[in-house]
Each structure stands twice: as structure tokens, then as C-alpha cells.
Amino acid sequence: AQSVTQPDIHITVSEGASLELRCNYSYGATPYLFWYVQSPGQGLQLLLKYFSGDTLVQGIKGFEAEFKRSQSSFNLRKPSVHWSDAAEYFCAVGARGTSGSRLTFGEGTQLTVNP
Amino acid sequence: DTAVSQTPKYLVTQMGNDKSIKCEQNLGHDTMYWYKQDSKKFLKIMFSYNNKELIINETVPNRFSPKSPDKAHLNLHINSLELGDSAVYFCASSNSGGSYGYTFGSGTRLTVV
């Protein structure tokens, strides 16, 4: 069964600083990988996704992520964080199987942005 | 033009009551899901339907019964509500296999008192 680990429960950065959120996955085949963001009291918004091809994926709001098969990682990065980026970030792996497709989430990383 | 819409957004009810949450998607997807987000914000799949057929049924109490009248709708009925059912419930949809991504509704915050 697939699984996702987000090692950092909470990260604090200063506005304008760079950001990297870590994500490691476990899956027997090539996975579909996603990053979602959830602002307080809101739903889940897709930031970016990886299916195949170029391992560096560009997303919305200036985010990017790099798929590294050898490290089973899909870390999210942003070169300069804005105060509005404060939110909960979820990495997820999508898998297909005999029991249908499903999205398995990591436990999330809460991002705080200091002015 | 909401892609995946859930109603109601908030639901406060007493223990023992029965309640329903409705979900509709206008994306033309053929697979729909219910996810539960607990107080620690962990998201876990509950059910998945593909073209009205139940595909995934995780270890969810049988007080929870999903129903899909057509592939654009997936409702969740909960009988005999318990305090532990308090959570945020998210509906989502995707194409078969999820290769184009998963779109989520804005969630229903259920509070059982």
C-alpha cells in the first residue's frame, strides 16, 4: 500500500525567505504525486502535480516541486515566501489498483510566515 | 461555476441524530470520493464510487452509508451520530485512475454535541 511522510509538522519562515517542504512517498510503481494547500477553514487547492516526464514541476502561486525517484521524494519549493502563503500543505500520492484509484495524504506541514 | 460543491458547509447536530451531506460535481468526472479530516487535519479516504458503483469502502462504521444516484452526485448519510464523528468531510472527484488530478469540495464541518 502507498504511504506519504511529511517529516516537518510545522515550519516557520520569514517573509521573503525561501521555502522547502519535504515529502517522501512509498509506492511500488511510478506514482502520481500532488501538493495541496489548505488555508484555515477552506478546502484543498491543488498547487501542482507530477505524472511523468520532466521531474521539475511548476505550479500555481510560484511553487515548484522536484520528483526524485532515487530518494522517493517530491519536495515543494518557493524562492520567496509571501505572508499569504501561511497555510497547511499536504503532499499526496495517487495510486491505481484493483480497488480503484485513491489519493493518500501525508499528515501535513503547517507553514507560518513571520513579517 | 463551482466544480465540486458540498452542502451544507456547517452542520451542528445532537448525538443519535441522522444527517446527510450532499455533493455534486460538474467536471464530467466518473469517480467521486468522500474523505474525512480529523481534528489533527489528517485526511483519510472513506469511500470511492466509479460510475455509481462502490469501489472503495475503507474500515468505516456501517452507520455511514454513501449513495450515488448518478456519476455527478455522491451523498453521505450518517445514522446515529456519535461525538467521534465530528470532523470535516470532503467530497472529491477525478477521472478514472486519477491521472488528471483530484478536485475537492470546500468541505462540510460536522459537529456532534
pLDDT at A97: 60
The residues, any chain, with a CB within 8 Å of residue B80's CB and separated by 6 or more, are B16, B17, B18, B63
The CA distance from A72 to A4, in Å, is: 10
Write down the pLDDT at residue A33.
Answer: 92
Amino acid B60: pLDDT: 85
Q: Are the beta carbons of A36 and B48 separated by less than 8 Å?
A: no
Determine which of B43, B52, B91, B111 to mutate to test the interface with A (most A C-beta atoms within 10 Å). B43
As a whole number of angstroms, the distance between CA B2 and CA A90 comes to: 22
Task: State mean pLDDT over B42-67.
Answer: 90
Tell me which chain A residues have a C-beta less than 8 angstroms from the C-beta of B96.
101
Residues A112, B61: Cα–Cα separation, whole Å: 36
pLDDT digits (tens, 9 = 90+) for B29-40: 989 999 999 998
> What's residue A31's pLDDT?
83
How close A16 comes to chain B (CA, Å)?
27
CA distance A55 to A58: 10
Task: Specify whether the CB–CB gap between A59 and A47 falls below 8 A.
Answer: yes
State the average pLDDT over residues B34-55.
Answer: 91
Residues in chain B closer than 8 A to A49 (CB atoms): 101
**8 Å CB contact between B52 and B102:** no
Average pLDDT, whole number, for chain B? 92
Query: Hey, are the CB atoms on A96 and B31 less than 8 Å from each other?
Result: no
Could you tell me the end-to-end alpha-carbon distance of chain A, in angstroms, rounded to an integer? 41
Is B98 or A52 the better-scoring residue by pLDDT?
Answer: A52
Give the model's pLDDT for residue B88.
96
- Which has the higher per-residue pLDDT, B97 or A67? A67
Element (H or E) spanning B85, and its range? none
Residue B109 has pLDDT above 70, yes or no: yes
Residue among A32, A104, A108 minimizing CB distance to B99? A32
Residue B1 predicted with pLDDT over 70? no
pLDDT per position in chain A (115 positions), as tens? 789 999 999 999 999 999 999 999 998 777 889 999 999 888 899 999 998 888 999 999 999 999 999 999 999 999 999 999 999 999 999 876 655 678 899 999 999 999 9
Rounded to 5 degrees, what are φ and ψ at A109? -125, 125
Closest CA to B3 of B39, B34, B27: B27
